[in-house]
Amino acid sequence: MALNAATENISLDFFKDRIVTIYAKQYDKNSRYINVKCYDRGKLYKVPSDCKANVKMITPDNRAVFNTATINSDGSITVELTESMLYSGGIAKAEIKLYNVDKTQVLSTMNFQINIKKSVYDDQRIINSDEFNALTKLYLQIQKEEKTRITNENNRISAENIRISNENTRKSNETNRVTAENTRNSNESTRKTNENNRIASETARINAEKNRATAETNRVSEYNTMMKKAEVKISEAEKVNISSTIATDSYKVNITNRLGQTSSSPNLLNKISIGTVTTGKPTDNASANISGNFGAQKLNLTLPVGKTPILSVGTVTTGSAGSKASATITGTNENPVLNLVIPKGDTGAVANISAATIPYSSPSDTSTIKSIVDNKSEKTHTHSYAGSTSVGGSANSAVKLDTSAGSTTQPIYFSGGKPVACIYTLGKSVPSNAVFTDTNTWRGIQDNLTSESTTDSLSAKQGKALKALVDAKHVVVNQSSEPTLSTGDEWLLDYE
């Protein structure tokens, strides 16, 4: 059955030093504990659970003890009085030390004493109860020593074998040493030769270093001279400056050179507006020119007018029955001629009729209409047309129409065999979708600003658009780089 632990409760302060003494007994072990509560100037201090605690102690026989202590959940510390701590009787001095996790902080209590009362007698003392016990202990001691002797003998034999092996190894190593010594002597001879070469190289190096030092001195001197010159040039360069002066209709550039002299450019902003716009003859070419002085110039335009064509009717041909009507234009651009081909209608068929089937208006019409019908040819009858040399041939002449329509500027068409004037005229009211065959060239009108034609005229609408573009234009000085100019330099302008 285990013994209950004996625990002594004490209080230790980090600042207040007072005598705290506890008592213990020599040779006790695994049975005595101290429970320590820490105070900060009289106020209870709860030790954090993630800290570390140790007890430091000097025993009565002047031994140093450094053991781990346990931090309890209530913030108190438990210290075990180990057998080593209680081995010697007398007064021992101790303290508790606290550490944070990374041991960058240490906090110690004031010292306390442990009065270790000596045991009645020393535990190492030989106890002679009677003669039998002494003989028994001596016998056991002899057995123990015999076992030790046998073990030592076995160890000796093993060591001897190791010694013999080592001796053989030593002899082999000695042979190798002699060989190595011979090699060393040869290497030493080579080393001496190399050392002589090294001395010669070192002498050459020293001479080269002297030359380098002289060259470095010259370099530093040249560098200092160069820096002084550079400082003068930098001082001059700091005077260089480029600025601009901007007004409503003016843009000037001001440049200061290395000598501090400042010069200004003329006005770099050119303003162009539309001047005159003249209507030229149809035969004229479009032209443009700029007038006025720089800064307030004008764009003058000459835009020719295109010619108005005068359309007339040329030939009017009767086409075959069933063909399509067509129209072509010949002549010039200024005087186009409209030629028409108009197909004739199909020949009508007359059925057999009799006097009984004719609705006469009056009895007197009977003989008249009958005689007319009787004088007509049968429907299968053929004859030669006027001017034709064969039956069914084409006519080369015709009876003049007794009605007329249209004019030189108004084409006609036939309705019921009679000419009827068209609603459109050829001079001014030709429909926008009319199709003509143009075999000549005439001056067209371009209603855009993208054409590259050299023979067409520009419309007045595009002239107005061109004027608006020119009015919106302005002069831009190209400042993509900073020029270095001095007095007398020419001013160069880039226009957009």
Checking DSSP bridges between strand 272-280 and strand 262-264, what pairing results, if any?
A: unpaired
Enumerate the domain spans of the chain. 6-117, 131-238, 271-307+447-472
Beta bridge partners of 419: 414
Q: What is the separation of C-alpha 253 from the centre of its chain, rounded to a whole number of angstroms?
A: 37
Residue type, 190: T
Helix, strand, or coil here: 349?
coil
Tell me the C-alpha distance between 496 and 5, whole Å. Answer: 106
Q: Which of 437, 434, 460, 435 is nearest to 447 (CA)?
A: 460
Residue type, 31: S
Q: Which residues contact 126 (CB under 8 A, 6 or more apart)?
A: none
Burial class (CB in 10 A: 0-12, 13-18, 19+), 114: buried
Alpha-helical regions (H) of 295-422: 365-374
Residue type, 303: L
Tell me the C-alpha distance between 20 and 123, whole Å. Answer: 29
Residue type, 223: Y
Helix, strand, or coil here: 451?
coil
Taking domain 6-117, whether its CATH number is 2.60.40.3350 is answered by: yes
Question: In the structure encoding, which two tokens stand for residue 442, read together?
Answer: 């005439």
Helix, strand, or coil here: 92?
strand
Q: How far is CA 482 from CA 92, 247, 253, 269, in A?
A: 91, 21, 11, 18
Q: What is the pLDDT of residue 319?
A: 83
Q: Tokens 């190894």 belong to which residue? A: 169
Q: Tokens 């001197």 belong to which residue? A: 221
Q: What is the separation of C-alpha 439 from the centre of its chain, rounded to a whole number of angstroms?
A: 61
* pTM, full prediction: 0.30
Q: What is the pLDDT of residue 157?
A: 94
- Spell out where 282-335 has E strands: 287-291, 297-304, 312-319, 326-331
Question: In the structure encoding, which two tokens stand for residue 386, read together?
Answer: 């006027």
**Could you give the count of Cα atoms lying within 13 Å of 266 in the half-sphere of its Cβ?**
10
Tell me the C-alpha distance between 435 and 169, whole Å. Answer: 125
Torsion, Cα of 8, 13, 14, 19 (10° steps): -80
Q: How far is CA 37 from CA 12, 20, 66, in A?
A: 6, 13, 19
Beta bridge partners of 61: none
Q: What is the pLDDT of residue 483?
A: 42
Q: What is the pLDDT of residue 112?
A: 96
Query: Does residue 57 contact residue 114 with C-beta atoms inside 8 Å?
Result: yes
Q: Tokens 């780089």 belong to which residue? A: 481
Helix, strand, or coil here: 357?
helix
Q: Which of 463, 457, 460, 464 is nearest to 304 (CA)?
A: 457
Tell me the C-alpha distance between 149 and 155, whole Å. Answer: 10
For residue 142, what is the DSSP state? H
Tell me the C-alpha distance between 112 and 58, whole Å. Answer: 11
Q: Tokens 């006609």 belong to which residue? A: 412
What is the pLDDT tens value at each position of the chain, 496 positions in all?
A: 788 889 999 999 999 999 999 999 999 999 999 999 999 999 999 999 899 999 999 999 999 999 999 999 999 999 999 998 999 999 999 999 999 988 899 999 999 999 999 988 776 554 443 444 555 667 788 888 888 999 999 999 999 999 999 999 999 999 999 999 999 999 999 999 999 999 999 999 999 999 999 999 999 999 999 998 888 888 877 778 888 887 766 778 888 887 878 888 777 776 778 888 888 887 788 888 888 877 678 888 888 877 677 888 889 898 887 788 888 889 887 788 888 888 887 665 555 555 556 565 666 655 555 566 566 655 555 555 555 555 555 555 555 667 777 787 778 878 877 888 887 776 655 566 665 555 555 667 878 877 777 777 777 887 777 777 766 654 333 444 444 434 443 333 333 3
